[in-house]
């Protein structure tokens, strides 16, 4: 079967790397891809929201399966568009339609969904410009810190954790009255702050059945010891120590099953990934957020731990036969360290020549924000490259990832040297 992956980041290179190992793969295409995905298949110069261009590529290259990487095309309805084409009815798609993608695209939708189906999550209420007075009054009654979330997609920046009432009031005013996050903050969810340790759980579903992929922990802050600004993710580790059998059983019963059943009950034919951001609060799972896709850089540690043929799982999710599949997971650790451009996550450098990839011996190199120019690889995004080490000890997996991070060179390179160390201290 010929496969088309949409996206251009480290997550999509990881998808390409894994899918290209499948014995049932025909040709692999990536739109638009990056220099890393080009080593696994053929890049097509088509943007992820160019739906007409995507449909044409499906026809030209006889694509049987489309795997959608990022959230934007999902929320904008790439699935619905492909399904609306009379001659593309045979094409499988991994990723929900626009309605299902609202679990990520609208915090208000996802909170209502969780409240309706009894899925544990922080108590919350949603406010708009018209109900701002109620929102300000509501804030007065809440304990601190308090969390304010822009309803829509805000490039990972729409969450504010206010430590004082004044901060919370300012944030609510700015979001609702000054459109701080544009349209995304025309509704604001105010929710209770949850204390605990976070982890990410990944589910692949065909709308009825599901498999649970390896869980992961993401490192979101730019600085070591989780200091400084939020980023898209500076590294990840899998497995996560407190995600033991007992905790994961709770996650299944209290979160995954009611989520999959709830989507079905809402008449949403959800075929794709559900990324569940969880807080372990005193041993109980609470949902912080849903995403309608895989995480980045979590995918770069999740996929190296999957032993099964990933393409078979994706095809089964797309055609409703996941009940016939099982997933086999490798009993090994995976750690990824993200190299980022100087200045990131604020204004960052671009166009620096990257060297040393051929010297990396003991880690998997996943390109993210890179591009080819005049025979060189140059930096083109804030998150440049993810380096994944795998081993049967966590310590060794960390060492492999860090060594590769030191081997790759480019002007302004920055990376965290503490990815996985907290997990190691936790006693693995």
List interacting residues with ligand AMP (CB under 6 A): 122, 147, 159, 191, 193-194, 198, 277, 288-289
Classify strands 92-94 and 63-68 as parallel, antiparallel or unpaired: parallel
> CA 99, 100, 102 angle in degrees (round to 5)?
75
Q: Compute the least distance from the CB of residue 7 to ligand GLY, in Å.
A: 12
Q: Among residues 187 and 400, whose Cβ is nearest to ligand AMP?
A: 187
8 A C-beta contact, residue 81 and residue 277:
no
8 A C-beta contact, residue 43 and residue 33:
yes
296 binds, among ligand GLY, ligand AMP, none (CB under 5 to 8 A by kind): ligand GLY
What is the rounded distance in angstroms from the CA atom of residue 372 to the CA atom of residue 212? 36
What is the rounded distance in angstroms from the CA atom of residue 127 to the CA atom of residue 311? 42
Residues in region 50-69 near ligand GLY by CB under 6 A: none
What phi and psi, each to the nearest 5 degrees, are found at residue 279?
Answer: -110, 130
Q: What is the DSSP string of 269-338?
A: ---EEEEEEEEEETTEEEEEEEESS--TTTHHHHGGGB-S-HHHHHHHHHHT-GGG----B-S-EEEEEE
152 binds ligand GLY per the rule CB under 6 A = no
Q: Among residues 233 and 285, whose Cβ is nearest to ligand GLY?
A: 233
Q: Using alpha carbons, select from 192, 182, 211 the residue that is nearest to residue 326.
A: 211
108 binds, among ligand AMP, ligand GLY, none (CB under 5 to 8 A by kind): none
100 binds, among ligand GLY, ligand AMP, none (CB under 5 to 8 A by kind): none
Among 7, 233, 304, 382, binds ligand GLY (CB under 6 A): 233
Which burial class, exposed, middle or buried, applies to 346 when counting CB atoms under 10 A from its CB (0-12, 13-18, 19+)? exposed
191 binds, among ligand AMP, ligand GLY, none (CB under 5 to 8 A by kind): ligand AMP
Total of chain residues touching ligand GLY, rule CB under 6 A:
7
233 binds, among ligand AMP, ligand GLY, none (CB under 5 to 8 A by kind): ligand GLY
Residue 59 tokens, joined: 């026809």
Q: Among residues 40 and 172, whose Cβ is nearest to ligand AMP?
A: 172
Q: Compute the least distance from the CB of residue 277 to ligand GLY, in Å.
A: 8
Q: Using alpha carbons, select from 283, 293, 219 the residue that is nearest to residue 251.
A: 283
291 binds, among ligand AMP, ligand GLY, none (CB under 5 to 8 A by kind): ligand GLY
Indicate if the alpha-carbon torsion angle 217, 391, 317, 80 is positive or negative.
positive
Q: Among residues 295 and 345, whose Cβ is nearest to ligand GLY?
A: 295
Give the x/- contact pattern for ligand GLY in 253-292, rule: CB under 6 A: --------------------------------------x-
Q: Compute the least distance from the CB of residue 289 to ligand GLY, in Å.
A: 8
Give the x/- contact pattern for ligand GLY in 285-324, rule: CB under 6 A: ------x---xx-x--------------------------
What is the rounded distance in angstroms from the CA atom of residue 86 to the CA atom of residue 329? 38
289 binds, among ligand AMP, ligand GLY, none (CB under 5 to 8 A by kind): ligand AMP
Cα torsion 185, 191, 194, 199 to 10°: value is: -40
Q: Compute the least distance from the CB of residue 69 to ligand GLY, in Å.
A: 10
Q: Among residues 186 and 409, whose Cβ is nearest to ligand AMP?
A: 186
Residue 34 tokens, joined: 């990056």
Residues in region 159-218 near ligand GLY by CB under 6 A: 218
- Is the backbone of residue 189 left (phi > 0), alpha (psi -120 to 50) or beta? beta
Can you give the binding site for ligand GLY, defined by CB under 6 A? Answer: 218, 232-233, 291, 295-296, 298
């Amino acid at each position: 079967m010929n496969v088309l992956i949409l996206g251009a980041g480290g997550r999509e290179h990881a998808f390409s790397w894994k899918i290209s190992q499948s014995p049932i793969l025909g040709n692999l295409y990536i739109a638009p891809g990056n220099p890393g995905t080009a080593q696994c298949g053929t890049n097509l110069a088509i943007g992820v929201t160019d739906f007409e261009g995507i449909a044409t590529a499906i026809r030209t290259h006889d694509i049987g399966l489309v795997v959608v990487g990022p959230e934007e095309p999902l929320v904008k309805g790439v699935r619905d568009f492909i399904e609306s084409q009379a001659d593309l009815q045979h094409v499988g798609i991994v990723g929900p339609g626009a309605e299902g993608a609202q679990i990520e695209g609208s915090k208000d939708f996802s909170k209502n969904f969780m409240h309706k189906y009894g899925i544990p999550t922080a108590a919350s209420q949603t406010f708009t410009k018209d109900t701002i007075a109620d929102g300000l009054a509501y804030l007065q009654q809440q304990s601190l810190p308090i969390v304010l979330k822009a309803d829509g997609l805000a490039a990972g920046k729409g969450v504010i954790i206010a430590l004082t009432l004044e901060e919370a009031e300012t944030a609510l005013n700015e979001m609702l009255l000054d459109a701080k996050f544009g349209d995304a903050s025309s509704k604001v969810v105010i929710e209770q702050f949850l204390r605990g340790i976070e982890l990410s759980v990944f589910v692949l579903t065909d709308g009825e059945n599901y498999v649970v992929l390896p869980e992961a922990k993401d490192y979101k802050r730019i600085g070591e010891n989780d200091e400084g600004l939020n980023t898209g993710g500076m590294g990840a580790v899998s497995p996560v120590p407190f995600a033991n059998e007992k905790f994961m059983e709770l996650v299944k019963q209290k979160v995954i099953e009611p989520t999959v059943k709830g989507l079905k009950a809402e008449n949403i034919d959800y075929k794709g990934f559900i990324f569940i951001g969880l807080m372990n609060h005193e041993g109980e799972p609470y949902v912080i957020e849903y995403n309608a896709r895989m995480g980045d850089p979590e995918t770069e540690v999740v996929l190296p731990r999957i032993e099964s043929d990933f393409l078979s799982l994706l095809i089964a999710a797309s055609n409703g036969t996941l009940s016939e599949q099982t997933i086999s997971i490798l009993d090994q650790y995976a750690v990824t360290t993200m190299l980022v451009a100087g200045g990131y996550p604020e204004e960052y450098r671009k166009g620096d020549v990257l060297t040393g990839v051929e010297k990396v011996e003991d880690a998997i190199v996943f390109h993210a924000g890179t591009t080819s120019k005049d025979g060189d690889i140059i930096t083109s995004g804030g998150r440049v490259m993810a380096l994944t080490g795998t081993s049967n000890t966590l310590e060794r997996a960390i060492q492999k990832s860090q060594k590769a991070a030191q081997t790759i060179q480019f002007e302004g390179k920055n990376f965290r040297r503490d990815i996985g160390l907290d997990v190691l201290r936790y006693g693995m």
